[in-house]
Structure 1
Amino acid sequence: MNKEVQLLQLAIKAGKTVSGDRLIPAIQSQTVCLVLMNRTCGNNRKKKLRNKCAFYQIPLIEWDASLFDQISWKVINAYGITDDSFAQAFMKERTGDVDGI
C-alpha cells in the first residue's frame, strides 16, 4: 500500500481530517493545513476548492481516484488535514521536503 495513503488513513483515525460540508468553512477559518482532492471530483467543487486554497494559501494536492478508493469504502472527494505534523509528514513523503507548508 502507498505510504501517503497510510498517512491519510492514520490522520483519519486520529480525527485530524475534515471532509464534506465542513471542508470549505475549515479552509476559510484556516484550520486546515493541507487539502487532498480527488481528480474525478466535479468541476464546480474543483473550482471552489482551488480558489479557496489559493486565496487562503493552503496547499492543494490532486489525487487519483484509485488512491481515494484505497482509503475508505465511503465516497469522499476531498479531505482537509487539520494537523500540521500530519501535513508536514505527508508533504515530506510526497516531495521530499516540507518547504511547501
Structure 2
Amino acid sequence: MIQQKWMSLLGLANRARKLISGEELVLKDIRNGNAKLVILAADASKNTEKKLTDKCIFYKVPLKRVDNRELLGKAIGKEARVAVAVLDEGFAKKLQTLLD
C-alpha cells in the first residue's frame, strides 16, 4: 500500500516535470543544487551507489533507497532507472515521509 503511494507521487512529480532520471543528470543536479531528494535503486552498482551517496553527503541532499530499478522506472512510466532526483521541495518532503 505504502509502495503504491510513493510510486504514484513520483509519477506525479515526473508529469509535473519536477524529476530528473539517469545517473549523470542526477549527479549534475546534485552539484548545481537543484536536487532536493535523490532516490536510488537498491540494485544499483556499487560504483554508482558510492558516487551518488558521496555526492549526496557532500552537498547535503537527502538520499532514499527503493527495492529495485524496475520499480523506480515503473513509478515514472519508463524503463528501469537506477536513480532519480526530485527537483521540487514539496514533492521531496512528501516522498521522504512515504519512503521512511
* Same fold flag (TM > 0.5): yes
Q: 2:37 aligns with which of 34, 37, 59?
A: 34
Which residue of the partner structure matches residue 26 of structure 2?
Answer: 23
Residues 13 and 88 of structure 1: is their aligned pair in 2 closer, same or farther, counting only changes over 3 Å?
same
1:69 shift after superposition: 5.1
Instruction: State the AA in 1 paired with 2:58.
Output: F
Identity %: 31
Normalization by structure 2: what TM-score? 0.86
Select between 69-78 and 1-10 the one with higher mean Cα deviation: 69-78
Q: Which runs of 5+ in 2 are unaligned?
A: none
Q: Is 1:79 aligned to 2:84, yes or no?
A: yes
Which residue of the partner structure matches residue 13 of structure 1?
Answer: 15
Q: Which runs of 5+ in 1 are unaligned?
A: 96-101
- Provide the C-alpha distance between the structure 2 equivalents of 1:92 and 1:67, rounded to a whole number of angstroms: 18
Instruction: State the AA in 1 paired with 2:16.
Output: A
What SS class does the counterpart of residue 32 from structure 1 fall into? coil
Which residue of the partner structure matches residue 43 of structure 1?
Answer: 46
Instruction: State the AA in 1 paired with 2:17.
Output: G
Larger radius of gyration: 1
1:57 shift after superposition: 0.5
1:88 shift after superposition: 1.2
* Runs of 4+, deviation exceeding 4 Å: none
**Contact residue 39 and residue 63 of structure 2 kept, 8 A:** yes
- Provide the C-alpha distance between the structure 2 equivalents of 1:62 and 1:93, rounded to a whole number of angstroms: 12
Q: Is 1:70 aligned to 2:47, yes or no?
A: no
- Provide the C-alpha distance between the structure 2 equivalents of 1:76 and 1:70, rounded to a whole number of angstroms: 8
Instruction: State the AA in 1 paired with 2:98.
Output: E
What do you get for the CA RMSD once the two structures are aligned?
1.5
Instruction: State the AA in 2 paired with 1:90.
Output: L
1:58 shift after superposition: 0.4
- Provide the C-alpha distance between the structure 1 equivalents of 2:42 and 2:10, rounded to a whole number of angstroms: 17
Normalization by structure 1: what TM-score? 0.85
